[in-house]
């Protein structure tokens, strides 16, 4: 994650941390799964919090509708 200091979230309480959104670097890798099936090649995470994530895709993700449970597998380089 871009310039995320070790103490950057420690000054906030748990409720506030749920809604703090951070932006991953460009070199992150992400996969989305719905019902165990991988979908959404070309998906990029714009930002993420403990409660939600916002994605951008080169393709329309017709299989996603409001209320769906989606698993997010994300690899971040923390250097």
Of 56 and 4, more confident: 56
Residue 53 pLDDT greater than 70, yes or no: yes
Work out the average pLDDT over 62-73: 82
What residues contact 57, with CB distance under 8 A and at least 6 apart?
A: 40, 42, 43, 44
Work out the average pLDDT over 23-46: 79
DSSP-assigned states of every residue in the chain: -TT--TTTTTTS-HHHHTT--B---TT-EEEEEETTEEE-TTEEEEEE-SS-EEEEESS--TT--TT---EEEEE----
């Amino acid at each position: 994650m871009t310039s995320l200091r070790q103490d950057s979230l420690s000054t906030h309480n748990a409720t506030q941390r749920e809604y703090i959104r951070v932006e991953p670097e460009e070199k992150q890798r992400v996969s989305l799964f719905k019902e165990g099936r991988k979908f959404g090649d070309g998906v990029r995470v714009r930002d993420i919090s403990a409660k939600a994530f916002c994605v951008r895709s080169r393709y329309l993700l017709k299989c996603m509708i409001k209320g769906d449970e989606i698993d997010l597998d994300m690899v971040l380089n923390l250097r």
